[in-house]
Amino acid sequence: MSSREITIAGFLVLGAVMVTLVAASWTGRLPRVGEVVDLLGARRSGRVLVVLAWWWLGWHFLVRTS
Amino acid sequence: MTADDQPRYGTPRRAVVLVATVATAAYAAVASTTGVNTVGAAVAVAVPGATVAVLTLRRPSRLVRAEPVLRRGAAIWVVVALTGLLWEAGAYLGELTIGQYEHPTVSVLLAPLLHDQVVRFAAWSLWLYAGWRLIRR
């Protein structure tokens, strides 16, 4: 496998894991994303990280996409 | 509160949600016309970013019952998020040192999609909705 294929495969695996986690939350086997965000955001420090992560996603995909 | 009071009590809440939905869609429609790597796009991300940060961070801390299932779920999500972050950082370093073709970041892979106007509008809407949910939680 080339470096490019390995890199892309890694992203595909991560994407598949995220879809599986969301699906598992729908069936009740795992908490929902919102509940996890609530837990992480219970403290101010956790909320800072959650907001930073959200902001970074916006910056990365909507402003700087290459 | 009587049953008669409920519709009047619920109306402002629905009105807020409706106004927020329309405002979000309008903002996403305007923001999605900004080009990538432009000042306009940076400002369009900075304004809601600052708003959400101020409104979310000034909220007092609250108690959340951390049951074992919730703790386990949170730990799994944190591990997945950190792995994704490290994989993206590794691809970025590879992009800088070896080349973008051999080590594309996820943003490079999604760039052709995100140049499409409809996809860009959807991405903006999704991002703004997530910010709205952060404020509301």
Per-residue model confidence as pLDDT tens for chain A (66 residues): 899 999 999 999 999 999 999 999 988 888 888 888 888 888 888 899 999 999 999 998 898 765
CB contact under 8 A, A65 and B57: no
Q: Is the dihedral of CA B137, A46, A13, A23 positive or negative?
A: negative
Return d(Cα B50, Cα A54) in angstroms, integer: 11
**Count of CB atoms situated within 10 Å of the CB of B18:** 10
Query: Helices (DSSP H) in B32-64: which residue ranges?
Result: 39-57
Tell me what ipTM this predicted complex has: 0.86
With bands split at pLDDT 50, 70 and 90, how would you rate the model's confidence at B3?
A: very low
Q: B77, B80, B98: which to substitute to probe chain A, counting the most A Cβ within 10 Å?
A: B77
Q: Could you tell me if A25 lies within 8 Å of chain B, comparing CB atoms?
A: yes
What's phi and psi for B81, nearest 5 deg? -65, -45
